[in-house]
Structure 1
Amino acid sequence: MTQRAEHSTVMDRLALDDLITGYAIAVDDGDWPGYRALFTPDGRADYRSAGGIEGGVEEIAVWLGEMLQHFAIRQHLIVNRRITLAGLDGASGDCATVQADYFNPMRLAGPATEGGGGPTAPNYTCAGRYEFTARRTADGWRLTGVVVHEKWREVWADGE
């Protein structure tokens, strides 16, 4: 591999890492226009393993916006990212897959958290693995798909 090709591969990997980080921040902040902008127009997501839905990015953004209102605090930690770049011939190119584990502590909304004066410790935690697919576009790397594979979740009452 030439030095120029290695540099390009590193830059692609950094851009994909930024894309996945942007995904976590958009979901945690409830930035649904920002969430939509991370995807190609034909992008899809599948949250069924976590009790959600599967569909196009528009449908998913609306659903996430409604469902995540139940959580006053949320924080996605996406780690152990395995990035694979591929082209049609199997060489590094314009398509990518990213496998990444997630740990997601959240706080269920309720009277104690409304107004910002209540508890902030998580009382709902889930974890699993994401499978992201992405494509290089004129606007940079964009997600074409997200599949969630939830492995476990824990919900507890305050004081436990």
Structure 2
Amino acid sequence: MTQRAEHSTVMDRLAIDDLITGYAIALDDGDWPAYLALFTDDGRADYRSAGGIEGDTTTITAWLTEVLHHFPIRQHLIVNRRIALARQDGAPGDTATVQADYLNPMRLGGPAAPDDGPADPAAPTGPNYTCAGRYAFTARRTPDGWRLAEVVVHEKWREVVAAGE
């Protein structure tokens, strides 16, 4: 592999890693325009293994907006990222797959809880809903940089702690 190809591979890997980080931040912040901007025009997501839906990004964004509104505190930790770049003639190609584990602690909001946290500052702020599993991302190089073509969630476990426990 030439030095130019190695440099390109490193730059692609960094860009894809940044894309995955942007995904986590957009979900946690409820920044739906940023979430949509991470995807290709024909992007899709599949959250069925976590009790959700599968569909195009417009459908998924509407669903996420409704569901995640109930969790004013959330933090997606996406770790152990394994990036595989497609190769073409010994040089990096225009597609990549990423396997990454996630741990997602969240806190359900009560009827009086604002969107940015618990209503009572003395209330517990720890998670009462935690799920974890593995993401399968497919990314594609576009004129605007790397974008997600597909996201598939493979939930492995979840824990729900009742209020007061």
The TM tier, using the shorter chain, reads over 0.9
Counting only pairs closer than 5 Å after superposition, residues 120-131 of structure 1 correspond to structure 2 as 120-131=125-136
**Residue aligned with 1:120, SS:** coil
1:110 aligns with 2:115: no
Q: Which has the higher helix share?
A: 1
**Residue aligned with 1:13, SS:** helix
Aligned to 1:157: 162
1:108-131 deviation per Cα after TM superposition (whole angstroms, max 9, x unaligned): 010464436232110000000000
Residue 8 of structure 2 contacts residue 92 of structure 2 at CA under 8 Å; is this kept in 1? Answer: no
For structure 1, the 5+ residue unaligned runs are none
TM-score (norm 1): 0.95
Q: CA–CA distance in 1 between the matches of 2:120 and 2:34?
A: 25
Query: Which deviates the most, 113-122 or 52-61?
Result: 113-122
TM-score (norm 2): 0.92
Aligned length: 160
Q: CA–CA distance in 2 between the matches of 1:74 and 1:90?
A: 41
The AA in structure 2 aligned to 1:151 is: K
The AA in structure 2 aligned to 1:133 is: T
Aligned to 2:13: 13
Q: CA–CA distance in 2 between the matches of 1:57 and 1:100?
A: 20
Residue 5 of structure 2 contacts residue 92 of structure 2 at CA under 8 Å; is this kept in 1? Answer: no
CA positional deviation for 1:159: 3.7
1:144 aligns with 2:149: yes
Residue 95 of structure 2 contacts residue 138 of structure 2 at CA under 8 Å; is this kept in 1? Answer: yes
Match of 1:133 among 124, 131, 138: 138
Residue 112 of structure 1 contacts residue 119 of structure 1 at CA under 8 Å; is this kept in 2? Answer: no
Q: CA–CA distance in 1 between the matches of 2:110 and 2:124?
A: 10
Residue 45 of structure 1 contacts residue 147 of structure 1 at CA under 8 Å; is this kept in 2? Answer: yes
For structure 2, the 5+ residue unaligned runs are none
Q: CA–CA distance in 2 between the matches of 1:68 and 1:77?
A: 16
Q: CA–CA distance in 2 between the matches of 1:110 and 1:92?
A: 49
CA positional deviation for 1:89: 6.5
1:134-156 deviation per Cα after TM superposition (whole angstroms, max 9, x unaligned): 10000000000000000000001
The AA in structure 2 aligned to 1:137 is: T
Q: CA–CA distance in 2 between the matches of 1:89 and 1:62?
A: 41
